[in-house]
Amino acid sequence: MGQLFAIIRNTVLETIRQPVYALVTVLTCGVIALSPAFAAHIYTFGAGSGMEHSAERMVADLGLSTVLMAGLLLAVFSTASVISQEIENKTALTVLSKSIHRSTFIFGKYLGVSVAIGLSALTATMTLLLTIRMGVAVAVSDPIDMWVLAGMLLVFILAGIVATFRNYFKGKPWIGSFIVFYIIFMFVLFAGFSLIDKEHNLLFLATTDGENIMSPSRIVSYDWEVARAALLTLEAVFIMAGVAVAASTRFSTGGNFSVCIIAFLGGLTSEFVRAKVATLVAQEKLWSSALPLAKTWQALVPDLQTFWMSDALTREMPIPFDYMLQATAYAGCYILAMLFVAAFMFEKREVA
């Protein structure tokens, strides 16, 4: 276990220190924070028109899409850096020569990459929830919580200042320090606003007459249905990380990216393809042997539609806890399958 934790720790640090990690994370948060401007451009209705909630759902849709695509990019580049390049540069041989089993190496690399990607996705999710809480103005007169906006800007500035001081006085890498403190400050900001309602009153306090003001109508810090949808999106990102790890044992960055894109697009369209093939077979416009092939393809690629809750959010449908458990179980099984495939392919890979 000590060897596994050492690999996980080193992989997390190596991934976070990559410039592409900081770039993707900050750009993702920036795009999400600016997404209300797109909603305001589309929903050009007056104040009190009732379209504010629809605009918030559009922001949630854009945010979840951004988190998913950013997770895919980080999965490809991170696994290429910590697995493919280590194999090509022969540095993996140094690790494996220390009585570390190859399967331990693969599992440790995946868990390390997943922790790093998870921190990035959680930071983007917190930005999304803060952005929705800030409000989506569909008219000039619509209110915007400027405290939330100022807090997100302050997080960016403070992280830059701390990283600059650490780089100047202690010689620490600027990129690594910046992204670490950016994530830390975002967690602090998110936790702080979770204790304050939208009227900027502290939750769990009593009024002057002694009546407790804690009620479901006041605990509205964040849209927790969006948080549930984001959690499922994060599980889809972990699945793609598993695919990337398996691909990185045999392919370089370009091949890894191609495999992940095929799995990603196939996972989003597998059900549609199977249904279309079944319809064409029923109409005798396609050979009957095509249907088993379509079902096999559907079984091989990850069913990413299971984790995409945009339609549920748009239609104001709650996400049941039982459904989340089933989706999580499916994600766990698929990830384990990908890791076993990765371990098998890496076992046969020449690293010397």
Model pLDDT for residues 214-264, shown as the tens digit of each residue: 444 444 568 788 889 999 999 999 999 999 999 988 888 888 889 999 999
Percent of the chain with pLDDT over 70: 84
Place 204 in a pLDDT band, splitting at 50, 70 and 90: low
Place of tokens 């900001």: 189
**pLDDT digit string (tens) for 1-23?**
678 888 899 899 989 988 999 99
Q: Is 87 within a domain?
A: yes
Give domain status of residue 131, yes or no. Answer: yes
pLDDT at 157 (0 to 100): 96
- Is the pLDDT at 328 greater than 60, yes or no? yes
Q: Which two tokens stand for residue 115?
A: 């922790």
Which carries the bigger pLDDT value, residue 207 or residue 133?
133
Residue 46 pLDDT > 70:
no
More confident residue, 319 or 28: 28
State the residue range of the domain holding 312.
2-347
- 51 — alpha (psi -120 to 50), left (phi > 0) or beta? alpha
* 352 in a structural domain: no
Task: Determine the pLDDT at residue 161.
Answer: 96
**What's the average model confidence in pLDDT over 323-328?**
94
Beta carbons within 8 Å of 250's beta carbon, 6+ residues apart: 345, 349
| pLDDT score, position 223 | 79
pLDDT over 90 (residue 40): no
pLDDT for residue 183 is more than 90 = yes
The residues near 348 (Cβ < 8 Å, ≥ 6 apart) are none
Global pTM value: 0.85
Among 159, 167, 176, residue whose Cα is nearest residue 15: 176
List CB contacts of 183: < 8 A, sequence separation 6 or more: 25, 119, 120, 123
Distances (CA, A) of 328 to 235, 321, 331, 335: 7, 10, 5, 10
Hey, what amino acid is at 153?
Answer: L
217 domain residue, yes or no: yes
Judged by average pLDDT, the poorest of 111-125, 145-159, 307-321 is 307-321
| More confident position, 333 or 139 | 333
Name the band, by pLDDT with cuts 50, 70 and 90, for residue 315: confident
pLDDT at 210: 46
Residue-level pLDDT at 231: 93
CA 122 to chain centre: 7
Number of domains in the chain: 1
